[in-house]
Amino acid sequence: MRLTEAVPSEGTVCVVGAGGKKSLLYTLARDLHEAVVTSTVRIPIFDGHVGRVVATEDPVTALADAQPDDWPLGLVREQDRKDRYRGYDVETVAELSEAADVPVLVKADGARGKLFKAPGDLEPMIPATTDAVCPMVSVQIVGQALSDLVVHRPESVVDITNMRIGGVITARHVAQVLTDPDGGLKNVPEDATVVPVLNMVDDDDLEATAREVAAEIYDQSDRVDRVVLTCLLDEDDPVVDVV
């Protein structure tokens, strides 16, 4: 199954959480071809994953000027430092989305390379015009200890789950964070589709873990009608299952 058949790929799609956001965005962009990749936060240099990156304060004009070889098109505000671009505010991305007749794929928070996270006070940065949100996690976090070695903002995970720092993260804890209004559903528009993505499902044992997380998600939320299991390292067949 192609990723575009499993994950929302029309309108404005925001990806939040941890464990593969950038890989999800780049794989979607590659499969869609005519799509925009942008961000409301800092994003690592990604020129190698798109046809062209344009750094501009006026992304609407840059989109209108796109040439056939530019797709998928990366749009960012500026290069923040040697290895990062700076994204746009949510209002600018909303304007871009209204002007676009192609999907707009948005990195809407950061996780500093960790496997799991809960949002901080000022995140995620999700435009009001967003059509779908994909909260992400690496299923490899299940069974690990809650610490800043593998979790971004572990104190926020504590606030949602009531677990303790150093405690073992379970499938239920992961589902709690992904479905909580202060977790994976934070700042998600009421009419947006929510599709959790459980990534790094690299073997049968991890698939069993992912299915356990998915079952907990359904037990805790009525906003979710599908959960996507992925192994995004497998570029040819990244979708493990949709449950």
Report pLDDT digits (tens) over 188-206.
999 999 999 999 999 999 9
pLDDT at 80: 86
Summarize pLDDT for 115-152 with one digit per residue, the tens. Answer: 999 999 999 999 999 999 999 999 999 999 999 999 99
Distance of CA 227 to the CA centre of its chain: 13
pLDDT of 161 reads 98
Where residue 1 falls among pLDDT bands split at 50, 70, 90? confident
Q: Which of 81, 96, 78, 71 is nearest to 13 (CA)?
A: 96
- pLDDT score, position 197: 98
What does the mean pLDDT of the chain come to?
Answer: 97
In this prediction the pTM is 0.97
142, 159, 204, 218, 236 from 38: Cα distances, Å: 30, 30, 34, 30, 24
Assign 82 a pLDDT band (cuts: 50, 70, 90). confident
Per-residue confidence (pLDDT) for residue 200, from 0 to 100: 98
Q: What is the mean pLDDT of residues 146-166?
A: 97
> Is the domain 17-242 a CATH 3.40.50 member?
yes
3-state secondary structure of 86: strand
Query: Average of pLDDT values for 100-114?
Result: 97
Could you state, in order of their start, the residue ranges of all structural domains in the chain? 17-242
Percent with pLDDT over 70 in the chain: 100
**Residue 81's pLDDT is what?**
80
Q: How are beta strands 84-86 and 78-81 bridged, if at all?
A: antiparallel
Q: Which tokens in the block code for residue 182?
A: 């202060």
Summarize pLDDT for 23-49 with one digit per residue, the tens.
999 999 999 999 999 999 999 999 999
Choose among 231, 228, 232: nearest CA to 7.
Answer: 228
The whole-number pLDDT of residue 113 equals 94
